[in-house]
Structure 1
Amino acid sequence: MEQVYQSQTVAENKRFISIYKPVVPAELPNLLIAVQECLFFDKFINFKNQDTGEHVLTGLNFHHVQNFLEILEKQLGNSKSQNQNTFQPKLKTSFLPKIQESLKGKSETLMAKSPNKHNRIFASSQKIQPELYNLITNEELFQNYDPSMYFSLDTEQKNLMRNYLKEHIQIEQSQDQKIFQPQFDLLSRLWSFGLPRENGNILLDNMHGVQFKNEHKDSQIRGFNWVTQEGPLTENNITKLQTNLNDFTGMSDAIHRGGGQIIPAMRYVVISTYLSAQPTINVANFKVKLNFNIKDLQKIKDIVQKYSVTIEKENENKPY
């Protein structure tokens, strides 16, 4: 990565992934049934079906995935003894590093229409400001705050948060906004921090003079959270994304501006602005130095190749 904000951990939220498949494709349904039964024993294992047809297990670390595979093998052994079946698949496991999507540029204001063509959303995306990123991830005043809690805060708490935002955060405004919105309340304009929150994304309401704002607010938040959870490049989480809602024109009839119309349109416009803002893919790397006997060189290479390791340099130091 070209730039990393201060106090940020590059390898944060690293997950180990195990991609497996039986030797005989016809045994896949029995294997999936065994996996679903084993998921009741470990709630921290995620099971996902990829668009490519692969079924992916994700865990917290290497041993977490290995322990789950041992439970799976025991479950397959029990089903074999009960059903008198010769099903005994060989699991092929490979571990991949966790990657995240981000961006390093700024997009123009783009527009997306709802499926019925009656609603239009205008938005732009950019890399989040370092001050806003630290506000979401590190600031104690906003540590337990969620934008959905805005109306439940008391007046004293709102004033403290507003004063902090005025002192530390500056948002760019157009000339029309400076005229029609001299008192820009940034606290009420923070609509969402994305999912998951620790990735440092933000949805900012930058609209003025828009009708029915509260009616379509939840739908726009859901569309934004959908994109931050599954990015368009790798279907992984997005980090450091700031999306500004600039304008919205909706149908006067409430039936035609429901969630089924607004959520897809919001997802389309966020993806479009994100892809036009120089998107990037961040991969967490851990650099180590190994010292061992030259006789074990081939054994070491066979081990590290199983874990997507790249060997940068090899030096042979002769003993004195």
Structure 2
Amino acid sequence: VNTERAIRHAIQERLPIVVVLNKVDRLITELKLPPTDAYFKLRHTLEAINDLISTFSTTAGGIKPVDPAAGNVCFASACDGWSFTLQSFAKLYVKLHGIPFDHLKLASRLWGDIYYHPDTRSFKRKPPESGGERSFVQFILEPLYKIYSQVIGEHKKSVEATLGELGVTLSNAAYRLNVRPLLRLACSSVFGSATGFTDMLVQHIPSAKDAAIKKIEHIYTGPQDSLVVETMKDCDPSGPLMVNVVKLYPKSDCSVFDAFGRVYSGTIQTGQTLRVLGEGYSPDDEEDMTVKEVTKLWVYQARYRIPISKAPAGSWVLIEGVDASIMKTATLCPLHMDEDVYIFRPLHFNTLSVVKTATEPLNPSELPKMVEGLRKISKSYPLAITKVEESGEHTILGTGEMYLDSIMKDLRELYSEVEVKVADPVVTFCETVQDSSSLKCFAETPNKKNKITMLAEPLEKGLAEDIENGVVSIDWPKRKLGDFFQTKYDWDLLAARSIWAFGPDKQGPNILLDDTLPTEVDKNLLNAVKDSIVQGFQWGAREGPLCDEPIRNVKFKILDATIAAEPLHRGGGQIIPTARRVAYSAFLMATPRLMEPVYYVEVLTPADCLSAIYTVISRRRGHVTADIPKPGTPAYIVKAFLPVIESFGFETDLRYHTQGQAFCLSVFDHWNIVPGDPLDKSIVLRPLEPAPVQHLAREFMVKTRRRKGMSDDVSANKFFDEAMMVELAQQAAELHQLM
């Protein structure tokens, strides 16, 4: 799972990919594979990685596959202190034999189905008639195996002879060492500890200057033709200062944080006064901005901090003194600029924080301390979200149980140092619809001068994910946006060109369409209130009518609108709440459903535990999608989907039923509709009894509403106008007569 997510993330961020195959020593010492089998195992691993790269790079494109012959694969054993690429190994042969030949040509022949023919001293695709191994096995794995077997066999004479052949002599004291340290010394003397790895990075990872153009196009939110962008793309140390802060590290006493960021242009110095622009900043809305002074700078290397006085463009630097207003990421720029500055976009993650828990201090008087601790948690954990619900409880959202566990440990011990009570974990839901609205829903503004009519229906499959992953953007020109929806989702030209907004934000999985006809509606008046209607739609999409959870996968169409001609009668205060109310009523008339988050779970297990795992997963409403043997090992990999709300205690349960032999990893994968109708009032929920599967949606909705301090049921009067209620009653009566 981790490799898959790392590759997907790298491709999303348009980063070059290199691979380190670590723990190669385990193929020799633990799995005891013969060299040929070890080669197939390594080749299979690389093929799997290339499959993932080709699957994910359909959207980004231009990502090179990994290939040892190209030099972007490194073989290593960190435990035994060695690493090499084919190129560094070929260099070793050049050095040993003292013959001046091109090591790169040799390296290109050391991978794949290529064999060495000693009689003609050439490499060919066909094996020699007398039989022989592939070049990788013969020239790389066999010497490696030889060193390992002789050192582990503790045969001093043969070890000396082999190392002598490879041009390495060890002192007598070295041979008195235990097996492990001797192995480490021998291997690192022959292959070099990090030479292969470093060579690979130098060759395949572009420098800050070379990568700047691609990077800026991807992460800078402003126009690409400004002066600032030019200096950032040139990585110019004398240009205006632009720094992208991406992470906050706490000081040892956890009272304040240091900001870690990349200088894209200009030079940052101690004592400099800067503007700190938060994630909510834009040239039109400058509220999220503070002015701070840089007090200290360091180069941050693992656990060491090297103090510096200035850092030019292209460097990563740790900054003290600017963290007070930063929550997750920030942009640092000079106080006075000749043109508008935009921010670097916030970080994107390929998982969501869907598990939440409520906290309160054991001693109520310590609430301010806990609130301060929660602010620090939000700074320290990039994916953690802390907020205060309307009911007054403080909630923390994280990606899973372990994540929340770490957060709570830090909250208690580092950031607030107070004893905290925690509620049982719950999950965030989404609200969606299954059909089109059964009738056109309308709502009038409080002053009775405006009326909006809307319809809700589900979005096409895959569209919500495309919007969230940035495959399509609302900022595109009208024509480009229209073409995307026409070609990929078969929308008609009119609908594709009349998209008003995505919601609840720019990358929200809902769409607002203007489906009115110019012959029926005055478009000028409608466009005058467009912003207000969009705001109402986005407010509604942020907290839906069922239980105040976000709406997902819904298309809202404006079918008709009567707007007052005088600007006084069509202000935001009239239009925004009305737009939200009509969106809600259209939503409730379209068979609303709850959606729950689902984990993708991968379980590593011996074959004899498979049946126990199936039982544990099916008991929790999960289903297994595949169980496949892991090549080259006696283990199996079980892949499954498991609703997040059923995942609490899953790992403990799994270990208990498999005597601790199975190991699982889970990550958020998708949203799924909860079985049952959340608005079915005939369902009776009995306390302390698990609800049957068909009643789950109702149970989740009612419990979520109770937790948020709302009434048990969605009241129709709140969202439907009187005229609408009358129309609904008439429809019901007509239906009754027909029956």
Instruction: Name the TM-score, length of structure 1 as normaliser.
Output: 0.68
User: Any idea what SS the aligned residue of 1:264 has?
Assistant: helix
Change (3 A) 1:193 1:305: closer
Deviation, 1:245, is 0.2
Match among 648, 669, 681 for residue 307 of structure 1: 648
1:205-254 Cα offsets, whole Å, 9 max, x none, are: 10123231221111111111112222222322221101110111111111
| 2:399 is the alignment partner of 1:60 | yes
Contact residue 430 and residue 594 of structure 2 kept, 8 A: yes
Corresponding position of 1:51: 390
SS of match in other structure, 1:232:
coil
- Once residues 12 and 42 of structure 1 are traced to their aligned partners in structure 2, the CA distance between those partners, rounded to angstroms, is 14
Deviation at 1:288, TM superposition (A): 8.0
CA-to-aligned-CA distance 1:178-202 (integer Å, 9 cap, x gap) = xxxxxx5333301112135665311
Of 536, 555, 558, 1:245 maps to: 558
Give the equivalent residue in structure 2 for 1:105.
Answer: 435
Q: Which moved more, 1:17-26 or 1:280-289?
A: 280-289
Q: CA deviation at 1:26?
A: 4.2
Partner of 1:143: 471
Q: Distance in 2 between matches of 1:44 and 1:168?
A: 32
Match of residue 120, structure 1, among 438, 448, 451: 451
Cα distance in 2 for partners of 1:285, 1:164 equals 29
Cα 1:102–1:128 change in 2 (3 A) is: same
User: What residue number does 1:270 align with?
Assistant: 583
Contact 1:94–1:307 (8 Å) recurs in 2: no
Give the corresponding residue for 1:207: 516
- Counterpart of 2:411, as a letter, is L
Q: Secondary structure of 2:421's partner?
A: coil
Q: Distance in 2 between matches of 1:12 and 1:256?
A: 44
The AA in structure 1 aligned to 2:430 is: Q
Please show how residues 117-266 of structure 1 align to structure 2 within 5 Å.
117-130=448-461, 133=464, 136=467, 143-146=471-474, 148-150=475-477, 158=479, 162-163=482-483, 165-167=485-487, 169=489, 185-196=494-505, 200-209=509-518, 210-211=521-522, 212-266=525-579
Are 1:280 and 2:593 matched, yes or no?
A: yes
State which drifts further: 127-136 or 242-251. Answer: 127-136
Q: Which has the larger radius of gyration?
A: 2
Cα gap change, 1:274 to 1:38, in 2 (>3 Å)? same
Call closer, same or farther: CA 1:117–1:150 in 2, change over 3 Å: farther
Q: Distance in 2 between matches of 1:65 and 1:285?
A: 17
Which residue number corresponds to residue 175 of structure 1?
none
Q: Report the 3-state secondary structure (helix = DSSP H, G, I; strand = E; otherwise coil) of the residue aligned with 1:185.
A: helix
Contact 1:19 1:57 in 2 (8 A): yes
How far apart are the structure 2 equivalents of 1:218 and 1:255? 16
Q: Secondary structure at the match of 1:283?
A: strand
1:190/1:205 contact within 8 Å kept: yes
Deviations 1:59-104 (A, max 9, x none): 2344443333233222333xxxxxxxxxx42432532233221111
Instruction: Specify the code of the residue in structure 2 equivalent to 1:106.
Output: S
Pair 197,237 (structure 1): closer, same or farther in 2 beyond 3 Å: farther
What code does the residue aligned with 2:410 have?
Answer: I
The answer (yes or no) to whether the contact 2:495–2:515 under 8 Å persists in 1 is: no
Aligned residue in 2 for 1:83: none
Q: Secondary structure at the match of 2:565?
A: coil
Structure 2 CA distance for partners of 1:281 and 1:12, relative to 1, 3 Å = farther
Q: For 1:277 and 1:240, how far apart are their aligned partners in 2?
A: 13
2-side partners of 1:191 and 1:145: how far apart? 12
Residue matched to 2:415: 75
Unpaired runs of 5+ residues, structure 2, are 1-55, 57-349, 613-644, 660-739
Give the structure-2-normalised TM-score: 0.32
SS in 1 for 2:552: coil
Check 1:306–1:29 CA distance in 2 against 1; reply closer, same or farther (3 A cut).
farther
Compute the displacement of 1:22 (Å): 2.4
More strand by share: 2
Give me the CA root mean square deviation.
3.8
Provide the C-alpha distance between the structure 2 equivalents of 1:31 and 1:72, rounded to a whole number of angstroms: 8
CA distance in 2, matches of 1:69, 1:315: 28
- Determine if contact 2:353/2:384 at 8 Å carries over to the other structure: no
CA distance in 2, matches of 1:76, 1:167: 54
* Structure 1 residue 17 corresponds to structure 2 residue 356: yes
- Structure 2 Cα separation of the partners of residues 228 and 111 of structure 1: 17
Deviation at 1:30, TM superposition (A): 3.8
Question: How many correspondences in the alignment?
Answer: 265
CA distance in 1, matches of 2:488, 2:548: 33
Does the Cα contact within 8 Å between 2:514 and 2:559 map onto a contact in 1? yes
Give the 3-state SS of the residue equivalent to 1:238 in structure 2: coil
| Structure 2 Cα separation of the partners of residues 131 and 306 of structure 1 | 25
- Of 191-200 and 96-105, deviating more is 191-200
